[in-house]
Amino acid sequence: MRKKIVRKDHIAMEASKIHCKLSRNICFLHQWISLIFTFGFVIPFIQSLDYSDALSKSLLYFEAQRSGRLPYNQRAIWRHHSGLTDGLDQGVDLVGGYYDAGDNVKFQLPMAFTITMLSWSVIEYGEDIAAAGEYRYALEAIKWGTDYFVKAHTHPNVLWIQVGEGDTDHYCWQRPEDMTTSRRAYKIDEDHPGSDVAGETAAALASSSIVFRRTNPHYSKLLLVHAEQLFEFGDKFRGKYDTSVGAAKGYYPSLSGYKDELLWAAIWLYKATDKSHYLKYALQNAQSFGGTTWAISEFSWDVKYAGLQLLAATLPRQDKREKEDDKIIEEYRSKGEYYLCSCLNQNNKTNVHRTPGGLLYIRQWNNMQYVSNAAFLLMVYSDHLRETNQMARCERRSVGPEEIFAFAKSQVDYILGLNPRGVSYLVGYGPKYPQRVHHRGASVVSFKKRKNFISCTQGYDNWFGRKTSNPNTLIGALVGGPDYKDRFNDHRRNFMQTEACTYNTAPLVGLFAKLNGLDRGIDIEDSSLFLAK
């Protein structure tokens, strides 16, 4: 049963829901009225949200982050070829892949997580992506990453996991086309293990193999071969990758260790292959690896527990499965729903903090990554509960799929401008969005317009400190976002709020597709109601 809210603005909100059934425009008008009643602020602009446009822009962002030789149909036309000698000094071809954020280093752990989340978006909402005319671009975004992973996996027990050095890179403000910083490559192997990055790469390749199964079966099988080899490698030679590769520690340290990635990879491999031993691995190691013991309130490129718990909870029931196995999956579900309930403020003690405007707030640096990931997990799980006619069991009360959906939608709508500042934090979307994103390539004149070399110091002296907008719009990038009071300072120096990352945007692809594909006549509770809880 839904908890009855008794408050002075209840009548206005109920009126909003009634009008939503009658008119989309009236619906959005009453959403704003509800927000004014609830929070006492007025949004600078009133407009319906165009999820189709947001979807298109989110996929365009990945083209701006490409490393390597760009294709003829590159749409982010201000970018050009870069990193064409990556791996040359080590005698391996490491050209390609993605820059993770506003710098020019290729970090494997966040890159692999990005591809996993892009693939999951397509697996869940591929029909909606296709209906919006974006399916081709979604597959291209995934394949740009998986092609690189295949090249980087040069031996069953060798994976190249970084190109470039964060320290030297951060001393320079250069377009990737001009890079003069070190492009040293780093690998993991039997003597220098990295079970976390091997596991996440295996998860990325397994999930993407599902995506390509119908359109490119040969490629799908190739990805699966690499995924299985990497999982075996990561499991047999266990260790944290940032212990083996110190250059990654100051930038993407594996604080959660590697056990969550191994469980995460095992579940994805089970989904991709239907081989029972992968499921057995995830079940037999569930307790010792923390899968059914850790109750987590965040999901990110590092901490996979909530994602694997909810992924395990959505596995279809099978008659041949033993009762003990179902019991373990039920334990996975319990811990996964703890995460969900913490986002919905329905745990008795530990809940995720929210800003006055209703945004989930985990921490100061790049908070939006946690928001987009949370919204995606909640959206997928709400679909699962609806399809199986179930409720999520929280400590305070049971929660239905409609409520979970509505809260996930409220987070997406906040990102797109339904917030106290009326700012879209998805660059290029809407009339008002960040203009000075902390990003080397976007903040320096395009190589296509000015081919003359720009050095490290020239970049800092002539471009980094400019108060004007970036010369190139990093369309589709989700920046770090506002602070705990919904405040946002649009300045390049403010990297905690204005830097964008590939793993911020990846889950949005599925979310935008889902929301765009919904029948507008469906009776879904007004998302502003859940900003008030």
DSSP track, 380-427 = HHHHHHHHHT--EE-SS-EE-HHHHHHHHHHHHHHHTT-STT---SBT
What pLDDT does 485 receive? Answer: 97
Query: Quick one: which H or E segment has residue 160?
Result: strand 159-163
What pLDDT does 317 receive? Answer: 80
Range of lowest pLDDT (12-16, 39-43, 97-101): 12-16
What pLDDT does 47 receive? Answer: 55
pTM of the predicted model, to two decimals?
Answer: 0.90
List Cα–Cα distances, 321 to 268, 279, 316, 500, in angstroms: 18, 10, 10, 43
What pLDDT does 15 receive? Answer: 32
What pLDDT does 473 receive? Answer: 98
Q: What is the mean pLDDT of residues 216-228?
A: 98
Q: Where are the domains positioned within the chain?
A: 51-521
Distance CA 506, CA 415 (A): 14
Q: Which of 30, 153, 384, 438 is catalytic?
A: 438
pLDDT (tens digit per residue) in 304-319: 999 999 999 999 887 5
Does domain 51-521 sit in CATH 1.50.10.10?
Answer: yes
Q: What is the mean pLDDT of residues 278-302?
A: 97
Q: What is the mean pLDDT of residues 369-379?
A: 98
What pLDDT does 323 receive? Answer: 79
- Is residue 30 annotated as a catalytic residue, yes or no? no
Query: 443 with 436: CB under 8 angstroms?
Result: yes
What pLDDT does 6 receive? Answer: 26
